[in-house]
């Protein structure tokens, strides 16, 4: 991992409905961020709506560390699963460097995510095609 991308801290701010994550270097530069929604319908879940690593810090394991931290939070929150869509949905400052759905699927598969039915009430997604391509990480209790 290049010195400028080295992770010093993964900060999680939690409230009842959301978890915001920032990955910081020792110089307090943000090299990764995630926005997660908590849900409980037919299943309890964490839905990762935004997950991004700074373009200059990609392919160095930052995203993997962030997802491992999210899996730990999921255990802590005692949810059934972590849910993602392998597509960039939300706007952000870094999104002029998109990553293909194939690459995102490879990233999530390596972390143990498998195709699954979306938990009911992943409401803000209107794209039916995308809903059919969701991936889940089952949390062992
Ligand atoms: C998806 C993302 C967060 C991954 O972060 P990252 O720090 O680059 O990921 P890692 O370095 O931990 O990658 C782990 C593995 O995932 C796979 N992978 C990651 N990015 C990949 C790519 N662009 N192409 C192919 N495989 C990829 C590889 O197997 C990689 O291991 P390797 O580098 O040893 O081959 C990052 O690419 C990103 O910010 N993308 C833009 C935003 C986005 O689309 N977010 C997803 C929203 S669902």
The structural domains of the chain, with segments of one domain joined by +, span 3-138
What's the CA-to-centroid distance between 58 and ligand 1, angstroms?
6
Closest-CA residue, ligand 1 atom 16, reads 107
pTM, full prediction: 0.94
Residues 70/82, Cβ–Cβ less than 8 Å = yes
List all residues 6 or more positions away from 73 whose beta carbon is below 8 Å from its beta carbon: 12, 14, 19, 36, 46
Q: From start to end of the chain, where are the E strands? A: 9-14, 18-24, 30-40, 44-53, 81-84, 114-115, 135-138
* CATH code matching the domain that covers 3-138, chosen among 3.40.50.300, 3.30.930.10, 1.20.1250.20, 3.40.630.30: 3.40.630.30
Closest-lying ligand 1 atom to the alpha carbon of residue 50? 47
Per-residue pLDDT reduced to its tens digit, 32-60: 999 999 999 889 999 998 999 999 999 99
Phi, psi of 107 (to 5 degrees): -60, -50
Under a CB-based contact definition with an 8 Å cutoff, are residues 21 and 33 in contact? yes
Q: pLDDT at position 87, please?
A: 84
pLDDT tens for the chain, 141 residues long, are 788 999 999 999 999 999 999 999 999 999 999 999 999 988 999 999 899 999 999 999 999 999 999 999 999 999 999 999 898 765 556 766 788 889 999 999 999 999 998 888 775 666 777 778 899 999 987
């Amino acid at each position: 991992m290049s010195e400028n991308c080295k992770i010093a801290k993964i900060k999680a701010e939690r409230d009842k409905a959301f978890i915001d994550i920032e990955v910081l270097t020792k110089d307090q530069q943000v090299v990764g961020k995630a926005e997660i929604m908590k849900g409980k319908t037919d299943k309890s879940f964490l839905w990762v709506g935004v997950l991004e690593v700074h373009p200059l810090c990609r392919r160095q394991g930052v995203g993997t560390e962030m997802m491992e931290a999210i899996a730990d939070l999921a255990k802590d929150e005692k949810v059934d699963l972590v849910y993602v869509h392998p597509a960039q949905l939300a706007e952000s400052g870094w999104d002029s460097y998109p990553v293909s759905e194939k690459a995102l699927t490879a990233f999530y598969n390596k972390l143990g995510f498998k195709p699954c039915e979306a938990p009911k009430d992943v409401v803000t997604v209107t794209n039916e095609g995308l809903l059919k391509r969701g991936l889940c990480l089952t949390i062992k209790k």
